[in-house]
Amino acid sequence: MKTAINGGSKKFTTSKIYNSISMQRVIPAILEQSVSDIQEKLDRVAAFVELIQLDIADGLFVPEEVMNDPGVLDLIQTTAAIDLHLMIELPEVVIEKWLHPVVRRISIHIEASEDSNASIEKIKEADKEVFLAINPETPIKKLEPYAEIIDGVLIMGVHPGYGGQEFIPSTLEKVKDARILLPERTIAVDGGVKEGIAIKLFEAGADQVAMGTGLFSATNLEKYIKKINSFKDK
Protein backbone atom coordinates (compact mmCIF):
# COMPACT_ATOMS: atom_id res chain seq x y z
CA MET A 1 0.00 0.00 0.00
CA LYS A 2 1.24 3.46 -0.84
CA THR A 3 1.69 6.06 1.87
CA ALA A 4 0.75 9.67 1.26
CA ILE A 5 3.74 11.95 1.00
CA ASN A 6 3.63 15.23 2.84
CA GLY A 7 7.09 16.73 2.79
CA GLY A 8 6.36 18.97 5.74
CA SER A 9 5.90 16.09 8.15
CA LYS A 10 7.32 12.91 6.63
CA LYS A 11 10.69 11.79 5.42
CA PHE A 12 10.38 10.97 1.73
CA THR A 13 11.95 7.63 0.84
CA THR A 14 12.81 6.94 -2.75
CA SER A 15 13.76 3.34 -3.36
CA LYS A 16 10.32 1.90 -4.11
CA ILE A 17 9.02 4.80 -6.17
CA TYR A 18 12.05 5.89 -8.15
CA ASN A 19 12.89 2.51 -9.62
CA SER A 20 9.64 2.47 -11.58
CA ILE A 21 9.56 6.09 -12.77
CA SER A 22 11.71 5.36 -15.83
CA MET A 23 9.03 2.88 -16.96
CA GLN A 24 6.22 5.45 -16.71
CA ARG A 25 5.24 6.77 -20.13
CA VAL A 26 2.46 9.18 -19.22
CA ILE A 27 3.26 12.02 -16.81
CA PRO A 28 0.07 13.77 -15.65
CA ALA A 29 0.69 17.53 -15.82
CA ILE A 30 -1.08 19.91 -13.45
CA LEU A 31 -1.31 23.65 -14.13
CA GLU A 32 -3.67 25.17 -11.58
CA GLN A 33 -3.95 28.39 -9.57
CA SER A 34 -5.13 26.95 -6.26
CA VAL A 35 -3.93 24.27 -3.86
CA SER A 36 -7.40 22.73 -3.77
CA ASP A 37 -7.48 22.33 -7.56
CA ILE A 38 -3.98 20.83 -7.52
CA GLN A 39 -4.98 18.42 -4.79
CA GLU A 40 -8.13 17.39 -6.64
CA LYS A 41 -6.11 16.38 -9.70
CA LEU A 42 -3.42 14.69 -7.61
CA ASP A 43 -6.11 12.59 -5.98
CA ARG A 44 -7.54 11.60 -9.36
CA VAL A 45 -4.31 10.19 -10.80
CA ALA A 46 -1.95 9.28 -7.94
CA ALA A 47 -3.18 5.69 -7.76
CA PHE A 48 -2.15 5.05 -11.37
CA VAL A 49 1.28 6.71 -11.66
CA GLU A 50 4.50 7.18 -9.71
CA LEU A 51 5.38 10.67 -10.98
CA ILE A 52 3.19 13.76 -11.49
CA GLN A 53 4.27 17.04 -13.08
CA LEU A 54 3.44 20.28 -11.30
CA ASP A 55 3.75 23.43 -13.43
CA ILE A 56 5.15 26.54 -11.75
CA ALA A 57 5.42 29.97 -13.42
CA ASP A 58 6.80 33.27 -12.11
CA GLY A 59 4.95 35.66 -14.42
CA LEU A 60 8.28 36.75 -15.91
CA PHE A 61 9.49 33.84 -17.99
CA VAL A 62 5.89 33.38 -19.08
CA PRO A 63 3.20 36.09 -18.86
CA GLU A 64 1.04 34.53 -16.16
CA GLU A 65 2.12 33.61 -12.64
CA VAL A 66 1.11 30.10 -11.57
CA MET A 67 1.65 28.77 -8.02
CA ASN A 68 5.02 30.48 -7.69
CA ASP A 69 5.37 29.59 -4.00
CA PRO A 70 7.44 26.63 -2.75
CA GLY A 71 5.10 26.48 0.24
CA VAL A 72 2.57 24.68 -1.96
CA LEU A 73 4.73 21.56 -1.60
CA ASP A 74 4.04 21.52 2.14
CA LEU A 75 0.30 21.73 1.55
CA ILE A 76 -0.27 18.95 -0.96
CA GLN A 77 -0.48 15.25 -0.15
CA THR A 78 0.17 12.51 -2.67
CA THR A 79 1.42 8.97 -3.00
CA ALA A 80 3.37 9.97 -6.11
CA ALA A 81 6.64 11.83 -6.48
CA ILE A 82 6.54 15.35 -7.93
CA ASP A 83 8.15 16.49 -11.16
CA LEU A 84 8.51 20.29 -11.02
CA HIS A 85 8.36 22.14 -14.32
CA LEU A 86 9.79 25.52 -13.36
CA MET A 87 8.89 28.21 -15.88
CA ILE A 88 10.89 30.88 -14.06
CA GLU A 89 13.60 33.40 -14.88
CA LEU A 90 17.05 32.84 -13.39
CA PRO A 91 16.20 29.57 -11.62
CA GLU A 92 19.65 29.46 -10.03
CA VAL A 93 18.58 32.30 -7.73
CA VAL A 94 15.61 30.44 -6.22
CA ILE A 95 16.21 26.76 -6.99
CA GLU A 96 17.18 25.85 -3.44
CA LYS A 97 13.70 26.82 -2.23
CA TRP A 98 12.20 24.17 -4.51
CA LEU A 99 14.41 21.27 -3.39
CA HIS A 100 11.63 19.74 -1.32
CA PRO A 101 11.61 16.07 -0.22
CA VAL A 102 8.46 15.34 -2.25
CA VAL A 103 10.24 16.42 -5.46
CA ARG A 104 11.99 13.79 -7.56
CA ARG A 105 12.58 15.63 -10.84
CA ILE A 106 13.05 19.29 -11.73
CA SER A 107 12.88 20.75 -15.23
CA ILE A 108 14.37 24.21 -15.75
CA HIS A 109 14.28 26.10 -19.02
CA ILE A 110 17.50 26.48 -20.94
CA GLU A 111 16.25 29.90 -22.10
CA ALA A 112 15.84 31.15 -18.51
CA SER A 113 19.58 31.62 -17.85
CA GLU A 114 22.68 32.35 -19.86
CA ASP A 115 24.30 29.38 -18.12
CA SER A 116 22.27 26.54 -16.61
CA ASN A 117 25.21 24.89 -14.86
CA ALA A 118 24.63 26.53 -11.47
CA SER A 119 21.04 25.27 -11.29
CA ILE A 120 21.97 21.83 -12.55
CA GLU A 121 24.67 21.49 -9.91
CA LYS A 122 22.33 22.45 -7.07
CA ILE A 123 19.65 20.03 -8.25
CA LYS A 124 22.17 17.21 -8.57
CA GLU A 125 23.59 17.90 -5.12
CA ALA A 126 20.07 17.46 -3.73
CA ASP A 127 19.87 14.03 -5.41
CA LYS A 128 17.09 15.02 -7.81
CA GLU A 129 16.77 14.25 -11.50
CA VAL A 130 17.46 17.33 -13.61
CA PHE A 131 15.90 17.96 -17.00
CA LEU A 132 16.39 20.91 -19.30
CA ALA A 133 13.16 22.18 -20.84
CA ILE A 134 13.39 23.67 -24.30
CA ASN A 135 10.90 26.00 -25.99
CA PRO A 136 9.56 25.50 -29.54
CA GLU A 137 11.81 28.15 -31.09
CA THR A 138 15.01 26.88 -29.43
CA PRO A 139 17.12 24.41 -31.46
CA ILE A 140 18.08 21.09 -29.89
CA LYS A 141 21.78 21.85 -30.46
CA LYS A 142 21.58 24.29 -27.53
CA LEU A 143 21.56 21.23 -25.26
CA GLU A 144 24.99 20.03 -26.40
CA PRO A 145 27.01 21.62 -23.55
CA TYR A 146 24.79 19.84 -21.02
CA ALA A 147 24.34 16.49 -22.74
CA GLU A 148 26.53 14.57 -20.30
CA ILE A 149 25.23 16.09 -17.07
CA ILE A 150 21.44 16.18 -17.44
CA ASP A 151 19.09 13.24 -16.91
CA GLY A 152 16.80 14.22 -19.73
CA VAL A 153 15.10 16.89 -21.79
CA LEU A 154 11.55 18.24 -21.69
CA ILE A 155 10.67 19.34 -25.22
CA MET A 156 7.82 21.82 -25.32
CA GLY A 157 5.18 21.03 -27.94
CA VAL A 158 3.54 24.41 -27.27
CA HIS A 159 4.67 27.78 -25.97
CA PRO A 160 4.83 27.37 -22.19
CA GLY A 161 2.51 28.89 -19.63
CA TYR A 162 -0.97 28.04 -20.88
CA GLY A 163 -2.93 24.81 -20.99
CA GLY A 164 -5.11 23.59 -23.84
CA GLN A 165 -2.90 24.77 -26.73
CA GLU A 166 -2.58 22.97 -30.06
CA PHE A 167 0.49 20.80 -30.55
CA ILE A 168 3.20 22.26 -32.83
CA PRO A 169 3.90 19.60 -35.52
CA SER A 170 7.61 20.47 -35.91
CA THR A 171 8.09 19.10 -32.39
CA LEU A 172 8.30 15.63 -33.91
CA GLU A 173 11.50 16.53 -35.75
CA LYS A 174 12.95 18.01 -32.57
CA VAL A 175 12.31 14.71 -30.81
CA LYS A 176 14.21 12.87 -33.54
CA ASP A 177 17.10 15.33 -33.24
CA ALA A 178 17.10 14.98 -29.47
CA ARG A 179 17.26 11.19 -29.71
CA ILE A 180 20.40 11.49 -31.83
CA LEU A 181 22.03 14.00 -29.49
CA LEU A 182 20.91 12.28 -26.27
CA PRO A 183 20.78 8.54 -27.03
CA GLU A 184 20.95 7.52 -23.38
CA ARG A 185 18.85 10.27 -21.81
CA THR A 186 15.11 10.45 -21.17
CA ILE A 187 13.20 12.45 -23.75
CA ALA A 188 9.87 13.85 -22.57
CA VAL A 189 7.41 16.06 -24.44
CA ASP A 190 4.98 18.49 -22.86
CA GLY A 191 2.15 20.50 -24.39
CA GLY A 192 -0.78 19.72 -26.67
CA VAL A 193 -0.30 15.96 -26.40
CA LYS A 194 -3.35 13.85 -27.17
CA GLU A 195 -3.71 10.17 -27.98
CA GLY A 196 -2.82 10.28 -31.66
CA ILE A 197 0.06 12.69 -31.06
CA ALA A 198 1.45 10.48 -28.28
CA ILE A 199 1.76 7.60 -30.76
CA LYS A 200 3.72 9.77 -33.20
CA LEU A 201 5.97 11.08 -30.42
CA PHE A 202 6.85 7.57 -29.24
CA GLU A 203 7.57 6.55 -32.84
CA ALA A 204 9.87 9.59 -33.17
CA GLY A 205 11.86 8.53 -30.10
CA ALA A 206 10.17 10.08 -27.07
CA ASP A 207 10.17 8.11 -23.81
CA GLN A 208 7.53 10.04 -21.91
CA VAL A 209 4.69 12.47 -22.59
CA ALA A 210 3.33 15.02 -20.13
CA MET A 211 -0.42 15.32 -20.52
CA GLY A 212 -2.70 17.88 -18.92
CA THR A 213 -5.96 18.76 -20.67
CA GLY A 214 -5.73 15.71 -22.94
CA LEU A 215 -5.51 13.41 -19.92
CA PHE A 216 -7.79 14.96 -17.32
CA SER A 217 -10.67 15.23 -19.80
CA ALA A 218 -10.74 11.42 -20.08
CA THR A 219 -13.71 9.67 -18.52
CA ASN A 220 -11.66 6.78 -17.14
CA LEU A 221 -8.18 7.98 -16.19
CA GLU A 222 -6.78 4.57 -15.30
CA LYS A 223 -7.89 3.04 -18.59
CA TYR A 224 -6.63 6.02 -20.59
CA ILE A 225 -3.20 6.00 -18.93
CA LYS A 226 -2.83 2.27 -19.55
CA LYS A 227 -3.79 2.77 -23.19
CA ILE A 228 -1.17 5.48 -23.77
CA ASN A 229 1.45 3.44 -21.92
CA SER A 230 0.76 0.49 -24.21
CA PHE A 231 1.75 2.51 -27.30
CA LYS A 232 5.35 2.75 -26.11
CA ASP A 233 5.47 -0.90 -25.12
CA LYS A 234 4.56 -2.15 -28.62
Q: Which residues are catalytic?
A: 55, 190
Question: What are the C-alpha distances in Å from 83 to residues 112, 114, 202?
Answer: 18, 23, 20
Per-position b or e across 160-195, b if 16+ CB within 10 A of its CB: bbebebebbeebbebbbbbbeebeebbbbbbbbbbe
Residues in the chain: 234
Contact yes or no for 32/41 (Cβ under 8 A): yes
Give the Cβ contact number of residue 74 at 10 Å: 15
Report the C-alpha dihedral over residues 101, 110, 212, 170, rounded to 10 degrees. -150
Contact yes or no for 80/105 (Cβ under 8 A): no
Per-position b or e across 95-121, b if 16+ CB within 10 A of its CB: beebbbbbbbbbbbbbbbbeebeebbe
